Structure formats: structure tokens, C-alpha cells
């Protein structure tokens, strides 16, 4: 019996170890305002729990990993013009959403920051939210 492993055996062992490590690494979720842990939510998700003035709708996630999640969404925001009470939600299709900064909470591992890039009157705007963590 040889003391040396073949290149194929080494590659297979490395792939198996990497797969096991990925399975053991927890993947963060997004905590909804109602306390539900969400992974790759496609429906409506309210980001501003106190006033409901921002939401993601119909999100298509390109990636959802251990450090960030990236997707395209219809971003809804109340621009509060002239006031928040008098204004309605306005939706910005094809906005980009990034979930970042996973944090361990008493409820599990959740993304603690959402950054949305949307276009308003031809200008790129950025909105940052701290989802319910």
C-alpha cells in the first residue's frame, strides 16, 4: 500500500472537506417585522417595522451566502412629500438590494443591514435600513 495519495484522491478529499465545512457554516436569514426568519423571500417584506414606510416586493435573489445576499427588487418607499401621512408608497422596479453584516441574535443569525440602490428622477439613490434584528 502506497504512503502517497493520488492527485485524484487528494482532490476528492479536499472537495469533501470543503462541502462539509460549507454545510456546517450557518447561513444568515432576514428577520421579518413579525419575527419570522426568512431566507430568499420573494413576497413583500416590510423593512421599516415602526412605520411601514419601506418594503421589498417580488425580490429575485442572485446570491444568498454567509456574508451577504444580493438581489433585484421592487423597492417601495414613502418619500414623505409633503408629509409621510399625506404621501403614499412609491415603487422603484429593478432596484438592487444587498443584505449585509450578519449578527448572532437570541433568535439566530440574521443580516443586520439592508442597502437598496434605486433610481429617482434619473439619479441613483441609496437607502439603508436596519432590518428587525
Q: What percent of the chain has pLDDT over 70?
A: 80
User: 4 near 12, Cβ under 8 Å?
Assistant: no
Q: What percent of the chain has pLDDT over 90?
A: 62
How do the domains of the chain map onto residue ranges?
27-129
* Higher-confidence position of 77 and 12: 77
What's the pLDDT tens digit per position in 45-59?
999 888 888 999 999
19 alpha-carbon distance from chain centroid: 23
Q: Does residue 37 have a pLDDT over 80?
A: yes
Strand-pair partners of 37: 31
Grid cell, residue 125, equals 439613490
Q: Which H or E run includes 13?
A: helix 7-24
What's the pLDDT tens digit per position in 66-92?
999 999 999 999 988 888 888 899 999
Amino acid at each position: 500500500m502506497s504512503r502517497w495519495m493520488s492527485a485524484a484522491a487528494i482532490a476528492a478529499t479536499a472537495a469533501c472537506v470543503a462541502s462539509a465545512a460549507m454545510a456546517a457554516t450557518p447561513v444568515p436569514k432576514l428577520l421579518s417585522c413579525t419575527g419570522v426568519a426568512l431566507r430568499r423571500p420573494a413576497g413583500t417584506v416590510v423593512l421599516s417595522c415602526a412605520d411601514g414606510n419601506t418594503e421589498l416586493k417580488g425580490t429575485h435573489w442572485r446570491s444568498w451566502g454567509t456574508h451577504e445576499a444580493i438581489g433585484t427588487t421592487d423597492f417601495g418607499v414613502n418619500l414623505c412629500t409633503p408629509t409621510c401621512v399625506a404621501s403614499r408608497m412609491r415603487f422603484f422596479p429593478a432596484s438592487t438590494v444587498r443584505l449585509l453584516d450578519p449578527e448572532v441574535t437570541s433568535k439566530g443569525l440574521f443580516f443586520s443591514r439592508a442597502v437598496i440602490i434605486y433610481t429617482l428622477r434619473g439619479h441613483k439613490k441609496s437607502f439603508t435600513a436596519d432590518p428587525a434584528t
